[in-house]
Amino acid sequence: MPDIQTLTSAVQTLEASANRWSKGALWLIAATAIVASAYFVVSLVASRKATSLQRAQAALISAKDAQLNENLRRQDEDAKRIEREASEKITTAKSELTKEQAKLAGEQRKTAEAQREAADAQLALKRHLEEVQARVQDRHLTDEQRTKLLAALNAAPKGKIAFLCVSGHMEAYVFMRELQAVFEQAGWRIMASAEQDFLGSPSGLFVRAGDRKFSTGVWESLRAAGLHLTRAAEYKDIATADDNVELIVGLHP
């Protein structure tokens, strides 16, 4: 049977070992508590950091959204401004175009009017030149005038007629002889064919008669042939005969 000393030694040894393990457990428990506290602290900090991160991310997203909205707003304003400026430029261009078209239309009207005036002037000049040429050229009966005059004289009352022309003018004399030949062909009695001095040297054709019906027949016959009296017929006693007519050929008008 073991003795007390041996047991006491064994108890002391076991007690010392138990104390060491107890202290180790206590240290382990303390270390565990420290770790748990550190974990809690770390977890709390991590949670707060995560919350801060979420807030920062939310703020960043909000800032980005605000920046995007601001950019979109500016782009929309720029687009509207560009559209407005373009519309104003288009309106101005249309206004200028309308003004230019109006000016062009005015110039075209002026051009057309000038062309019309030029055409009228050319026509007037042509007529004037024709008139001048006709005045320069000697008077002669055309075949058509001779035919019309003869037909009209044949249908009119016939009487006696004297042909007179301005003295000293061959052109008037030749034209008088052409007229006289047609009257002779129509059956008129030629009473005279002579040159005569007239006061003021009259121009054109005119008639003096003792009876209106004979002068009217002569006047209408001449008009039918395209020949016109320079002045109205004069009615007076010519050699005391009503059927006497004088056809006077004046100077070339």
Determine the pLDDT at residue 231.
64
- Residue that is last in its domain, among 105, 137, 169: 137
Contact 161, 191 (CB under 8 A): yes
DSSP for residue 216: H
Are 170 and 62 members of one domain? no
- For residue 97, the enclosing domain spans 1-137
Task: Name the CA dihedral angle for 61, 64, 65, 71, rounded to a multiple of 10 degrees.
Answer: 180
Whole-number pLDDT of residue 80:
86
pLDDT for the residue 173: 96
Parallel/antiparallel/unpaired status of strands 205-209 and 234-235? parallel
Residues 54 and 130 in one domain: yes
Residue 117's identity, in one-letter code, is E
Domain boundary among 100, 122, 137: 137
Residues 54 and 123 in one domain: yes
* Ordered per-residue pLDDT tens for the chain, 253 residues: 667 888 888 788 888 887 888 787 778 888 777 877 777 776 777 777 777 778 877 787 777 878 878 887 888 787 788 888 878 888 887 888 888 888 888 888 887 887 888 788 788 878 766 665 656 689 999 999 999 999 999 998 888 899 999 999 999 999 999 999 999 999 999 999 999 988 877 889 988 876 676 778 888 899 999 998 876 555 454 443 556 888 999 899 8
Same domain, 75 and 171: no
Q: Strand order of the sheet with strand 234-235?
A: 189-196, 160-166, 244-249, 205-209, 234-235
Please say which residue of 114, 137, 160 terminates a domain. Answer: 137
Q: Are residues 151 and 207 in the same domain?
A: yes
Model pLDDT, residue 100:
86
3-class secondary structure per residue, 35-64: HHHHHHHHHHHHHHHHHHHHHHHHHHHHHH
Full 3-state SS string of 65-97: HHHHHHHHHHHHHHHHHHHHHHHHHHHHHHHHH
The residue type of 99 is K
In this prediction the pTM is 0.47
Own/partner long-range contacts of 114-119 (Cβ < 8 Å, ≥24 apart)? none
Q: What is the pLDDT of residue 135?
A: 61
What pLDDT score was predicted for residue 240? 39
Taking the alpha carbons of 120, 125, 128, 129 in that order, is the dihedral positive or negative? Answer: negative
Q: What is the DSSP string of 151-166?
A: HHHHHS---EEEEEEE
Q: What is the DSSP letter of 211?
A: S
Check whether residue 147 and residue 131 sit in a common domain. no
**CATH number, position 225:** 3.30.70.2390
Both 85 and 156 in a single domain? no
What pLDDT score was predicted for residue 239? Answer: 43
Q: How far apart, in whole angstroms, are the C-alpha atoms of residue 21 and residue 194?
A: 184
- Let me know whether 102 and 165 are in one domain: no
Based on the fold, state whether residues 44 and 154 are members of the same structural domain: no
Spatial CB neighbours of 153, under 8 Å, sequence gap ≥ 6: 182, 183, 186, 187, 188, 217, 221
Residues 163 and 125 in one domain: no
Q: Do 88 and 60 share a domain, yes or no?
A: yes
Which residues fall within 8 angstroms of residue 146, CB to CB, at 6 or more apart? 178, 182, 225
Query: How far apart are the C-alpha atoms of 130 and 138, rounded to whole Å?
Result: 13
The count of structural domains within the chain is 2
**Are 99 and 181 found together in one domain?**
no
